[in-house]
Every structure is written in C-alpha cells, then in structure tokens.
Structure 1
Amino acid sequence: MEVTGIISALLIGIVIGALGRLVVPGRQSIPIWLTIVIGIVSAFIGTAIAAVLGVADTGGIDWIELVIQIVVAAGGVTVAAGLYGRQRRELPQR
C-alpha cells in the first residue's frame, strides 16, 4: 500500500481504525478522533511490519498487510480504551 496524500491517509486511517475498533470486543469509550489517529498510525506501522516480513507488495490486494494493520489497530484501540477509561475514572466526582 502506498499512501500518496493526506486525504488517502485519512481515509485509510478511518477504515483501519473502524475495523480495529470492531475487532475489539465490548464497548470502547474513546472519541472518534482518537480512533482515526490510531487507524492512521496503525496503517503506517502495519505497512512497515509487512515490508519487513516481505508481504507488502504482492499482486492484487495486499490482504496480509491489511490484516496486520487491523491487528495493530485493535491493539491500539485496546490500549487507548484502557488508558482513556482509567483517566476519566480518576477525575474527582462532584
């Protein structure tokens, strides 16, 4: 996958973030902007991992690369949901 611009990076980030969020069971109380950021970062990290494994440039759709990106996004959503939820619980109650 080659990200050629900001628009395509945002679109890929939205899709990867949403898929990563769907893979994680339960409800994640994180904002949508954080899901998009996680998706964008996961797309870049997943592409780098796929390049190291030698599966980044295959004929047709790079399914293995896509799965790697979704797994990275699911991990990012899980970590972010845990940290974001913990941060919100530590605020003093009024």
Structure 2
Amino acid sequence: MDRVRDLASKKAAVIFTKSSCCMCHSIKALFYELGASPAIHELDQDSNGKQMEWALRSLGCTPTVPAVFIGGNFVGSAPEVISRQVDGSLKQLLIDAGAIWF
C-alpha cells in the first residue's frame, strides 16, 4: 500500500495499468488527448505488480486497472474517469492538480 501511495503522489496524474488491458489504453489516450502526461505504472511489468494490485483492490478499485490518481487522490477506474469526462469535471480536476495548464 505504501508503494502505491508513494507512486500516486509523485506526479499530478498517475495511472496504474496492465499492458494488455484495452480500457487502460483508452484511459491513457484520453489523458494524452487532454494534454496531460501521466505517470504510467504497468503492473504486469513491475516486479511488485501483484502486491500493488492487491493494494489497489483494498482501496476499492474494482477492476484493479486502470486505477487513476489525480493530485495524489484516488479518482477511480475507467467508469469513474469516463463519467467525469462526460460531465466535464475531469479536465478541471487535471487543471486543479497541475497536470494540464490553460
């Protein structure tokens, strides 16, 4: 859990993913389209990936990837991020965290 929290707080936008996950790819593409450069942590390519996946699960992230943190705070997985994009609040969250500038 400490490693997840530490990584999540090191950059304004952080996404925990798996390289084979199509929703992870979509969420990363959305962030790039909005002008953000999130820190990406591929759990399936990290030696501590399984432990981080369990930590994400204990935070309530179901499914465990993609897990999105903005400003060090857990935002959610793909459904929550997409909902925020649809209602217009995702961009403001990224601006407030300093992940994008306008």
Which one has the bigger helix percentage? 1
- Greater radius of gyration (CA): 1
Question: When the two structures are superposed, what TM-score results if normalisation uses the length of structure 1?
Answer: 0.32
Which one has the bigger strand percentage? 2
Question: When the two structures are superposed, what TM-score results if normalisation uses the length of structure 2?
Answer: 0.30
